[in-house]
C-alpha cells in the first residue's frame, strides 16, 4: 500500500449513494479554468470523503475531461481515495524521525486492537487506519493524528488507549 | 510599556497542547480582568519545550517552556499578578542564565527573523518589523531590475530547496527570456520525511515569502505567481490565504503595484495532492497544469518554457524568505555569513534521537557536531551518537567520525549526502543502518513516478535485496549487487528523484559496511532492530509470571505457570516482538 498523507478538509460525508447535485457548484467554479482537474478531484473528495464512481462519470461528462485522464491522476497522487473511509481517520506517522523511534510498534498495536490492516476501515466504519509519510511534528515523534488532533511521544499501548477512549466517548 | 503574553501556536505547539494553554490564559485574563495584551505567534523553533509562552514586561522578556494549563495558571498568578517571574520555568531570557540561552544565542536568524515574534495573521506586525520595506526601497531608490538581480548574485544566495543553484543566475535566465506572461513559482511541496522548515516559515511568517516572490517578479518581469503548497499543511495554507488577502487590500498585489506603472502581479495557491516527485521542477509544473506529476526532459528549462510553456522561475520557500533581508541589508551583509561558496544561513530541522529537536538557523560553515551537540544538546538518553541523516530520501547518512564536516553545499556533498532542504535526523547506536537504508528506499520506490525504467524497477529490486538482508536471508555478493544497481539507477534516471534515490544505500554501505556484513554473514543485527535476526528470551529474574505475554503470543510459543518464570520456545517463536511490547516488567530480552 502506498504511503498516504493527510489532507485538510471537512468531515467526510458517508454515503453509498452520493448526492451528485452537490458537485454542481464545484464544477461551475472550475469551468473554463486551466489545470482544473486536480482542484475538481480535491473538491469532490472534500464532499464525499472519497471519489465515488458516479462522481467520476458526472465530472467527466460535464467538463469533457476523459475518464482515463481522471483515473490516471487519481491513482498517481497519494491524496485521493477510491473507497469510503471511516468517521475517524487515524494517521500514524512513518516519517524518518518516527521510524527510528518505533513508529512500527504503534501501527502494529493499532492493527491488532482494531483488527484491521493498514489502509483499511473497521466494520462499523468508525476508524480508518493509515500510514502517512510525515506529519511534520518530528520533535514529538512518534506521532499519530486522530481526526484533527495530534498525539505525540507515544508507545503502542498508549496509542491503543487513546483510540479506545475516543471510541468510548463516541458511544456515550 | 504594557505587559504582553505571547503563546506559540505553530503546528508543533498545537500538537503539544498550546491551544489549551492559550484558552486557559485567555479565560484567566477575562475572569481576573487582567491588564495585559494576549498575542499569538508561530513556531519559535524550540519544539522540544512546547507549549511556549513568552511574557514581556517592563523588566524584560521571559520565555516559559512546557506551559500546560496548570503551569499557565501558576505563571499568570505569580508573574502577572505578583510580578514574580518563576525562574525555574524560564527557558530563555536576556536577564539571567536560563537553560536555552545558548540554543538561541548560537543562531543567526535571517529566514526565521520573524518566526515566533509576530502574529503571522497580522500584516501590521510584519510591517512593524521592516516588512515590505525591501520592495518599497526598490521603488523609492529606483533600483533597476538588473541591480536587484545583481544584489542577489553578489549575496551568494543558493537555492535552499536542496539543489544549491545560485538564485541570482536563475533569475537572470528567466529575465533574459522575453514573453508577455512569465511565472514565479514558490515550491512549498516539502515532501521530505523529517523536514519541516518550510512549513514553519509559511506558518510563522507568510508575508516574507510573498515579499520575496514580489521582488523576484519585479526582477524577472513576471506577471503571475503560484505557491505550490502541500495539501498536508492546512495551517500554512490558511495563513497564506489570509496573507494574500491582506496584501491585496493594501495594493501589494494586483495592477500597478507599489506605484510602479505596468507592474502587474498576482499570486495564487495551488494545493499539491501528495507526490514527493512534485518537488522536482518539471513535475511540479505538470502538476499545476492538472496532470500526473511526471518530470519532463530538460532542456528546455523552465526559465525558457515552463508553466503553460511560458518562462518560469521556481524557488523554494526558504530562498524567497531570504530575499527581502538581502535587499534591505545589502549583499555584503549577507555574504558576511557562511563559507566561500555557500553564503548566508541555513535552517535545519533537527529531529530523531537528539535532545533538543526543533528548528535552528545557523550560519553556513558550522560543523555538524556543533549543530547536534551545541544546539541540539547531544543525544537523548545518554546513548552514543552514530550518524546523522541529511537530505532526506535523496541524501545520505554521515557517520560520527565525519561530524566535523562543516555545513555547506560542497562539504556535505563530498560525504555522499546532500544538504537537501535541511532535514537532520540524528541516529544513535540503537538505529540499524541497513533498516534506515531500507526505509528510504521503500519511500522512493513508492514515490517513483514510473517514467524511467531504472528508477521504477531498480529501486524495487534494491528494496528486495535489502528486505532479504534484514530478514536474515542475505547472500554473498548482495552488497556488490546493490552498488551496481545503485549506479545504474543514478546514471539512467531523468530527474533528481531517481538520480539520488540510491544515496541512502550507497552512504550506509560506504560507512557502515560492517553492519551489512553482520546481517549477511553472521545473520545478526548489531543494533537489535531487524526482528528476524533477534532471539527473544525471558529473564527469569525479572519475570513475575503474570501470564500477559503468554496470553498475547499469537503462536503460543510461551509456556509457564502463573507466578512462575515463563519460557519462549525458540522453535515456535516467529519473532513478532509482541511479548516485548506487552511485558510491563522489562523481562523480555533480545539478543
Q: Residue B476 maps to which CATH number?
A: 1.20.1440.230
How large is the greatest C-alpha to C-alpha distance in chain B, in angstroms?
Answer: 88
Same domain, residue pair B386 and B453:
no
State the pairing for strand pair B345-352/B312-316: unpaired
Q: What cell numbers appear for B493 in the block?
A: 534516471
- Position B74 scores a pLDDT of 93
Q: Are residues B351 and B205 in the same domain?
A: no
Rounded to the nearest angstrom, the minimum Cα separation between B136 and chain A is 33
Instruction: Count CB atoms within 10 A of the CB of residue B229.
Output: 24
CB contact under 8 A, B194 and A109: no
User: Exposed, middle or buried, B452 (CB in 10 Å: 0-12/13-18/19+)?
Assistant: buried
User: Closest partner residue to A73 among B193, B291, B449, by Cβ?
Assistant: B291
* CA quadruple B354, B356, B360, B363: dihedral sign: negative
Partner-chain residue, chosen from B16, B290, B352, that has the shortest CB–CB distance to A97 = B352
Q: Which of B422, B363, B341, B365 is nearest to B110 (CA)?
A: B363
Sign of CA dihedral B434, B439, B443, B445: positive
Are both B82 and B52 inside the same structural domain? yes
Which residue in A has a C-alpha nearest to residue B445's C-alpha? Answer: A2
Is residue B186 domain-shared with residue B312, that is, in the same domain? yes
The last residue of a domain, from among B428, B444, B464: B428
Question: Do B193 and A134 count as a contact with CB atoms less than 8 A apart?
Answer: yes
Residues B130 and B274 in one domain: yes
DSSP, res B68: -
Report the Cα B450 to chain-centroid distance in Å.
Answer: 26
Nearest CA in chain A to B307: A35
Q: Are residues B358 and B287 in the same domain?
A: no
Q: Are residues B387 and B328 in the same domain?
A: no
Contacts of B580 (CB under 8 A, 6+ apart): B536, B588, B590
Report residue A135's pLDDT band, with 50, 70 and 90 as the boundaries.
Answer: confident
B348: which 3 cell numbers? 535545519
Element (H, E) at B350: strand B345-352
Do the chains contact at B232 and A38, CB–CB below 8 Å? no
How far, CA to CA in Å, does B569 sit from each of A17, A65, A109, B481? 52, 61, 23, 36
Q: Chain A interface, mutation test: which of B189, B194, B198, most A Cβ atoms within 10 Å?
A: B194
User: Tell me, what's the pLDDT at B294?
Assistant: 94
Tell me whether residue B528 is in a domain. Answer: no
Residues A138, B389: C-beta atoms closer than 8 Å: no
Q: Which residue has the cell 528510504?
A: B440
C-alpha cell at B590: 533480545
Domain range for B16 is 4-103
End-to-end CA distance of chain A: 34
- Find residues 461-500 of chain B whose CB sits inside 8 Å of chain A: none
Cα–Cα distance for residue pair A59/A71, rounded to 1 Å: 12
Q: Which of B15, B273, B292 sits opposite A72 (nearest CB)?
A: B292
CA dihedral B488, B489, B491, B497 (to 10 degrees): -170
Nearest CA in chain A to B271: A39
CB contact under 8 A, B48 and A139: yes
Final residue in a domain of this structure, among B459, B487, B520: B520
Supply the pLDDT for residue B253: 96
Same domain for B263 and B165? yes
CB distance B194–A97 less than 8 Å?
yes
Among A98, A80, A105, residue whose Cα is nearest residue A158: A105
Same domain, B262 and B172: yes
- How far A124 CA lies from chain B's nearest CA (Å)? 25
Q: Residue B578, by phi and psi: left (phi above 0), alpha (psi -120 to 50) or beta?
A: alpha
| Distance from C-alpha of B574 to C-alpha of B570, rounded to nearest angstrom | 8
Say which of A6, A42, A133 has its CB closest to residue B193. A133
- Regions in chain B scoring below 70 on pLDDT: 1
Angstroms from A15 CA to nearest CA on chain B: 23
The answer to whether the CB of B275 falls within 8 A of the CB of B268 is no
Q: With a cut of 90, say whether residue A137 has pLDDT above it.
A: no
Q: Considering its fold, how many domains does chain B have in total?
A: 5
Q: Which residue has the cell 533538543?
A: B356
Q: Using CA of residue B471, residue B472, residue B475, residue B478, what is the dihedral sign? A: positive
Contact A138/B349, CB-based, under 8 Å?
A: yes
B239/B146 same-domain check: yes
Instruction: Identify which of B405, B421, B465, B411 has the alpha carbon closest to the alpha carbon of residue B441.
Output: B465
Spell out where B189-233 has E strands: 224-229
Closest Cα in chain B to A34: B289
B241 and B389 in a common domain: no
Residue count (chain B): 591
For residues B548 and B501, membership in a common domain is answered with no
Q: Would you tell me which CATH number, out of the four given (2.130.10.30, 3.40.30.10, 3.30.565.10, 2.40.30.10), belongs to the domain A88-171?
A: 3.40.30.10
DSSP count for chain B of H helices, then E strands: 23, 18
> Is there a contact between A138 and B308 if contact means CB atoms under 8 Å apart?
no
Q: Where are the domains of chain A?
A: 20-76, 88-171
- Count of CB pairs separated by less than 8 Å, A with B: 149
pLDDT of the residue at B101: 85
Q: Which residues 265-324 in chain B show a CB within 8 A of chain A?
A: 270-271, 273-276, 287-293, 308
pTM of the model: 0.89
Q: How far is B558 from chain A (nearest CA, A)?
A: 19
Nearest CA to B304 among B316, B313, B296?
B313
Residue A147 has pLDDT above 90, yes or no: no
β-bridge mates for residue B183, sequence order: B224, B312
CB contact under 8 A, A140 and B289: no
Give contacts of A 22-51 with B, CB under 8 A: 34-39, 41-42
Grid coordinates belonging to B261:
506603472
Query: Which stretches of A37-102 are DSSP H helices?
Result: 37-48, 53-63, 67-76, 96-99
Does residue A97 contact residue B351 with C-beta atoms inside 8 Å? Answer: yes
B334, B365, B399: which is the final residue of a domain? B334
A156·B275 Cβ contact <8 A: no
What's the distance, Cα to Cα, between the start and end of chain B in Å?
Answer: 63
Phi, psi of B302 (to 5 degrees): -55, -30
Q: Is residue B46 part of a domain?
A: yes
Cα–Cα distance measured from residue B477 to residue B215, given in angstroms and rounded to the nearest whole number: 54
B475's grid cell = 547472500
ipTM value for the complex: 0.83
pLDDT tens sequence across A104-122:
889 999 999 999 998 889 9
Q: What φ, ψ does residue A128 adopt, rounded to 5°? A: -120, 130
pLDDT tier at A16, thresholds 50, 70, 90: low
- B439: contact with A, CB 8 A cutoff: yes
Cα–Cα distance measured from residue B305 to residue B313, given in angstroms and rounded to the nearest whole number: 10
Candidates A5, A36, A105; nearest CB to B581: A105
DSSP state of A130: E
- CB-CB neighbors (< 8 A) of A80 in chain B: 273
Amino acid at each position: 500500500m502506498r504511503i498516504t498523507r493527510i489532507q485538510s478538509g471537512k468531515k467526510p460525508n458517508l454515503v453509498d449513494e452520493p448526492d451528485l447535485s452537490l458537485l454542481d457548484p464545484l464544477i461551475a467554479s472550475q469551468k473554463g479554468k486551466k489545470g482544473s482537474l486536480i482542484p475538481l478531484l480535491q473538491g469532490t473528495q472534500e464532499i464525499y470523503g472519497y471519489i465515488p464512481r458516479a462522481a467520476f462519470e458526472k465530472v467527466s461528462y460535464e467538463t469533457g475531461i476523459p475518464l482515463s485522464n481522471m483515473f490516471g491522476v487519481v491513482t498517481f497522487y497519494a491524496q485521493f481515495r477510491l473507497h469510503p473511509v471511516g468517521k475517524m481517520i487515524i494517521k500514524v506517522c512513518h516519517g524518518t524521525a518516527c521510524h527510528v523511534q518505533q513508529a512500527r510498534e504503534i501501527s502494529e498495536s493499532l492493527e491488532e486492537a482494531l483488527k484491521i490492516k493498514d489502509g483499511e476501515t473497521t466494520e462499523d466504519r468508525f476508524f480508518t487506519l493509515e500510514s502517512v509519510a510525515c506529519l511534520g511534528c518530528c520533535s514529538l515523534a512518534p506521532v499519530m493524528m486522530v481526526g484533527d488532533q495530534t498525539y505525540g511521544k507515544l508507545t503502542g499501548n498508549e496509542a491503543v488507549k487513546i483510540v479506545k477512549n475516543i471510541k468510548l466517548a463516541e458511544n456515550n | 510599556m504594557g505587559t504582553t503574553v505571547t503563546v506559540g501556536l505553530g503546528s508543533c505547539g498545537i500538537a503539544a497542547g498550546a491551544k489549551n494553554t492559550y484558552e486557559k490564559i485567555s479565560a484567566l485574563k477575562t475572569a481576573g480582568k487582567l491588564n495585559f495584551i494576549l498575542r499569538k505567534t508561530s513556531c519559535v523553533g524550540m519544539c522540544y519545550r512546547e507549549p511556549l509562552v513568552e511574557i514581556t514586561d517592563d523588566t524584560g522578556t521571559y520565555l516559559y517552556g512546557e506551559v500546560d494549563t496548570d503551569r499557565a495558571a501558576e505563571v499568570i498568578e505569580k508573574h502577572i499578578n505578583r510580578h514574580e517571574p518563576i525562574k525555574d520555568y524560564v527557558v530563555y531570557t536576556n536577564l539571567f542564565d536560563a537553560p536555552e540561552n545558548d540554543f538561541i544565542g548560537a543562531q543567526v536568524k535571517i529566514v526565521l527573523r520573524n518566526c515566533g515574534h509576530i502574529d503571522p495573521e497580522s500584516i501590521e506586525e510584519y510591517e512593524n518589523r521592516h516588512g515590505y520595506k525591501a520592495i518599497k526601497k526598490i521603488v523609492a531608490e529606483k533600483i533597476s531590475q538588473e541591480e536587484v538581480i545583481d544584489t542577489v548574485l553578489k549575496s551568494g544566495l543558493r537555492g535552499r530547496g536542496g539543489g544549491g543553484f545560485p538564485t541570482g543566475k536563475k533569475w537572470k535566465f528567466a529575465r533574459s527570456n522575453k514573453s508577455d506572461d512569465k511565472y514565479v513559482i514558490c515550491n512549498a511541496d516539502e515532501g521530505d520525511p523529517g523536514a519541516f522548515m518550510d512549513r514553519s516559515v509559511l506558518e510563522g511568517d507568510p508575508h516574507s515569502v510573498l515579499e520575496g516572490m514580489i521582488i523576484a517578479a519585479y526582477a524577472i518581469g513576471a506577471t503571475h505567481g503560484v505557491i505550490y503548497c502541500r495539501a498536508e499543511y492546512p495551517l500554512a495554507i490558511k495563513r497564506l490565504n489570509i496573507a494574500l488577502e491582506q496584501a491585496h487590500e493594501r495594493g501589494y498585489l494586483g495592477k500597478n503595484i507599489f506605484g510602479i506603472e505596468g507592474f502587474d502581479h498576482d499570486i495564487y495557491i495551488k494545493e499539491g495532492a501528495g507526490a514527493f516527485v512534485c518537488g522536482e521542477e518539471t513535475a511540479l509544473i505538470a502538476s499545476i497544469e492538472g496532470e500526473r506529476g511526471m518530470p519532463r526532459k530538460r532542456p528546455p528549462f523552465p526559465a525558457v518554457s515552463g508553466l503553460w510553456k511560458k518562462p518560469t522561475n521556481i524557488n523554494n520557500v526558504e530562498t524567497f524568505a531570504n530575499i527581502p533581508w538581502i535587499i534591505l541589508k545589502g549583499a555584503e551583509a549577507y555574504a558576511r555569513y557562511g563559507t566561500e561558496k555557500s553564503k548566508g544561513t541555513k535552517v535545519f530541522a533537527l529531529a530523531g534521537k537528539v535532545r533538543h529537536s526543533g528548528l535552528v538557523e545557523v550560519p553556513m560553515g558550522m560543523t555538524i557536531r556543533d549543530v547536534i551537540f551545541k544546539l541540539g544538546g547531544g543525544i537523548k538518553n545518554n546513548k552514543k551518537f552514530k550518524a546523522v541523516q541529511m537530505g532526506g530520501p535523496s541524501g545520505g547518512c554521515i557517520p560520527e567520525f565525519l561530524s566535523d564536516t562543516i555545513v555547506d553545499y560542497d562539504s556535505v556533498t563530498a560525504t555522499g549526502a546532500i544538504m537537501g532542504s535541511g532535514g537532520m535526523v540524528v541516529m544513535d547506536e540503537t538505529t540499524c543502518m541497513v533498516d534506515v537504508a531500507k526505509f528510504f528506499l521503500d519511500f522512493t520506490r513508492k514515490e517513483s513516478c514510473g517514467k524511467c525504467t531504472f528508477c521504477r524497477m531498480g529501486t524495487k529490486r534494491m528494496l528486495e535485496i535489502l528486505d532479504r538482508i534484514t530478514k536474515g536471508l542475505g547472500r554473498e555478493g548482495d552488497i556488490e549487487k546493490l552498488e551496481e544497481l545503485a549506479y545504474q539507477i543514478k546514471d539512467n534516471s531523468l530527474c533528481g528523484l531517481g538520480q539520488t534515490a540510491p544515496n541512502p544505500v550507497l552512504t550506509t554501505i560506504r560507512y557502515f559496511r560492517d553492519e551489512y556484513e553482520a546481517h549477511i554473514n553472521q545473520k545478526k543485527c548489531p543494533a537489535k532492530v531487524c526482528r528476524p535476526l533477534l532471539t527473544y528470551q525471558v529473564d527469569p529474574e525479572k519475570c513475575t509470571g503474570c501470564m500477559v505475554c503468554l496470553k498475547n503470543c499469537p503462536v503460543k510459543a510461551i509456556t509457564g505457570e502463573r507466578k512462575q518464570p515463563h519460557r519462549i520456545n525458540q522453535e515456535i517463536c516467529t519473532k513478532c516482538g509482541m511479548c516485548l511490547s506487552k511485558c510491563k516488567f522489562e523481562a523480555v530480552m533480545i539478543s
